[in-house]
Amino acid sequence: MRRLGVTQELLSLVTGLAHYLKLLIRICLQGALKLERETSNTDGLSRFLNQINSLDERLAQNESLDPIAESLPYVRGESDHCPVCTKPVEDKCARFGDRCVHLACMRCKSCNRELADNLNEACFSPSTGNVLCYDHRMQYADGEQGFIFITRLQQYVHLLLVAHARLLATLRSQGALPHTSGK
């Protein structure tokens, strides 16, 4: 570890990666057990474990992709922070492109109208990071519609990707991983 120049940042990234992986596994296991309990079907847990076993096949399919290019959007600091309040987003949220916004922050910048329950009326200005209602979208030239609701599970998957991408970027920057290798 000393040879890699382990820093507090690296330890934090590894801890975050493990945390989100643990949360995902726990949610999936709870969901499988709840499915079995509610439907009196003993197939839920085995289906979940079969899905886990099929990950090797999916990883083999993804080997042809460029991992560095694929991970760049996740390395940026704003990939897991709300553009409105600048705090991390770790729960259900609304997503516009690659930006996540807390549901509590889904208010029009101009009229303070609540938009979390009506995402099709919400617009986003990528240049300013402002949320706007449909009526005030023209205040910014780039105000566009396109928010989608993101579940807690979907957000944890996103956060896992962010943590993984940042870990790889940190390891590459410290020379622990080659910059050109996809492995």
Q: Long-range contacts of range 65-73, CB-CB < 8 Å, 24 or more positions apart? A: 65/182, 66/182, 67/168, 67/182, 68/172, 68/179, 68/182, 71/161, 71/164, 71/165, 71/168, 71/169, 72/165, 73/98
Rounded CA separation 126/55 (Å) = 35
- Tens digit of each residue's pLDDT (9 = 90 or more) over 41-83: 888 778 777 777 777 776 666 666 655 556 666 677 678 889 9
Q: What is the pLDDT of residues 126-144, one digit of tens each?
A: 888 899 998 888 887 788 8
